[in-house]
Amino acid sequence: MSSPCPPSPQWDLVCHSRWKVPLEQTTHLLGWTLGMAGFFWIAGELLLPGLAVLCRDWRVLQGAVTMILALLAAFWWCPVLLLESPRWLLATRQLARARKTLQALAKGSGSEHSAEPQALTEGSPQPRYHAVCEIFGTRVIWRNSAILGFTAFIGAGIRHCFTRNLAPHLPHFFSSYFTLVGTEATACLFVLLTAERFGRRAILLLCTVLTGICSLLLLALTQYLLEFIVLILSVVGITTSHAVTMLSIFFASEVLPTVVRGAGLGLIVGASFVGKAAAPITAIPNSRGFFLHHIVFASFTILSILSIMLLPESQGHSLPQSLEDGERRHRSPLFHQPPREDHVPLLTTPTVPPTPYWCHPTAERGAGTPLFGSSRG
């Protein structure tokens, strides 16, 4: 008896198309990869004081940092260590480079099916490259990029309004430094545990609201509150501002289409660094710089709360490939849970016949038939 298969991408994933299986599976690991990169970033920040202790002379420290950056730059000349994204190559129709990249990945993983991706070169379409300026010619993609860049800018800039309140309680450099890195690790863990469960937009909205509340309370009532409450509000504000910046960058990686994802992420990360660059304003002596900085970013936080509601929810949706796919990502209700598009039957554990009858020479199978389209009972 045949059982109906739920709606899913119907690929021919047998025999000569087996190479598509790991490619399809890796397309759903973007969030996991960014999360692991965030933890490695925090681990590097925790190790920086140790590097400073080992290299007490500033010349030695500068040389050590330069050597590390030179090692990273050397990866550019070694494609084996830093491969190009196959997803981006396929989206921009660079099929020859995509085939070489997939063959390198297959060789690195010990697979012997190096001749199977020959189907990638069929037709040989012309590559289509996209510049970052094309984002400004769109409507939905540009709006989403501007909102997420704005929230990343606010999350990185308003953080200094909270760290100034920690200075009297943490006078030593190492205590204040590790406290700030600890709040960043807490924010990363919070995003990891909640963004997949409650959605990206809802958690981004929650963190922005908490950041705004802490900022307004400290702005208006610092001299009337107990020091313990001021300390708690400052720590919560730092943690949520870290979460806002992290989630804005992660959210952008799922909303922006593949053809301009790298350029769009660069703009949003750059916006967060511009927010960090506003920190010296708060350190100007005998001026109103800190008060003005606090008022401006508190106002921006309230404005960003309204703009976040215009973002689409990316949880459960497949990653957009082209600019047209990105333009179709419109705003959805806040607490509406759409059917998932990233949990396809291929990623589950289906019941398959013990004999691989589809690879038998006498087996006939259409190119559009799903891999697990029927079961025998």
Reported as a single tens digit per residue, the pLDDT across 275-304 is: 888 877 766 665 566 778 888 899 999 999
The answer as to whether 329 is a domain residue is no
Mean predicted confidence (pLDDT) in 253-269: 88
pLDDT given for residue 120 in this prediction: 55
With a cut of 80, say whether residue 365 has pLDDT above it: no
17: how many CB neighbours lie within 10 A of its CB?
Answer: 15
Q: Verify that 117 and 55 share a domain, yes or no.
A: yes
The answer as to whether 216 is a domain residue is yes
Distances (CA, A) of 340 to 24, 89, 254: 16, 25, 14
pLDDT given for residue 308 in this prediction: 92
Main-chain dihedrals φ then ψ at residue 149, nearest 5 degrees: -65, -35
Q: Verify that 136 and 265 share a domain, yes or no.
A: yes
pLDDT given for residue 364 in this prediction: 42
Q: Verify that 137 and 211 share a domain, yes or no.
A: yes
The answer as to whether 348 is a domain residue is no
Is the pLDDT higher at 220 or at 43?
220
CA-CA distance, 325 to 131, in Å (whole number)? 17
The answer as to whether 350 is a domain residue is no
Is the pLDDT higher at 126 or at 250?
250
Residue type, 301: T
Q: Verify that 243 and 125 share a domain, yes or no.
A: no
Give every CB contact of residue 98 below 8 A, 6+ residues apart in sequence.
86, 89, 90, 120
Q: Verify that 169 and 299 share a domain, yes or no.
A: yes
With a cut of 90, say whether residue 153 has pLDDT above it: yes
CA-CA distance, 145 to 267, in Å (whole number)? 8
Q: Verify that 107 and 144 share a domain, yes or no.
A: no
Q: Verify that 50 and 142 share a domain, yes or no.
A: no
Is the pLDDT higher at 323 or at 126?
323
DSSP state of 377: -
What is the average pLDDT score of the chain?
75
CATH code, domain with 279: 1.20.1250.20
pLDDT given for residue 40 in this prediction: 77
* Whole-prediction pTM: 0.69
With a cut of 60, say whether residue 14 has pLDDT above it: no
The answer as to whether 373 is a domain residue is no
Reported as a single tens digit per residue, the pLDDT across 311-348 is: 988 877 778 888 888 888 777 666 555 555 554 444 44
pLDDT given for residue 336 in this prediction: 58
Domain end, chosen from 69, 95, 129, is at 129
With a cut of 70, say whether residue 98 has pLDDT above it: yes
Give every CB contact of residue 317 below 8 A, 6+ residues apart in sequence.
254, 329, 338, 340, 341, 342
Q: Verify that 112 and 236 share a domain, yes or no.
A: no
Q: Verify that 125 and 136 share a domain, yes or no.
A: no
Mean predicted confidence (pLDDT) in 108-136: 64
Q: Verify that 165 and 292 share a domain, yes or no.
A: yes
Q: Please compute Rg for the chain using Cα positions.
A: 25
The answer as to whether 321 is a domain residue is no
Would you say 102 and 19 are in contact if contact means Cβ atoms under 8 Å apart? yes
pLDDT-derived band at 32 (thresholds 50, 70, 90) equals: low
Would you say 370 and 10 are in contact if contact means Cβ atoms under 8 Å apart? yes
* Percent share of the chain, pLDDT over 90: 20
Q: Verify that 175 and 248 share a domain, yes or no.
A: yes
Mean predicted confidence (pLDDT) in 239-263: 90
What range defines the domain where residue 93 resides?
A: 15-129
Q: At what angle do helices 140-157 and 261-276 cross, to 10 degrees?
A: 30
Domain end, chosen from 285, 308, 331, is at 308
Looking at the 3D structure of the chain, how many domains does it have? 2
Highest mean pLDDT among 163-177, 229-243, 313-327, 363-377: 229-243
Q: Which of 17-21, 111-115, 162-166 has the weakest average pLDDT?
A: 111-115
The answer as to whether 82 is a domain residue is yes
With a cut of 70, say whether residue 131 has pLDDT above it: yes
Domain end, chosen from 94, 109, 129, is at 129
pLDDT given for residue 313 in this prediction: 85
The closest of 1, 32, 25 to 11, measured between CA atoms, is 25
pLDDT given for residue 96 in this prediction: 75
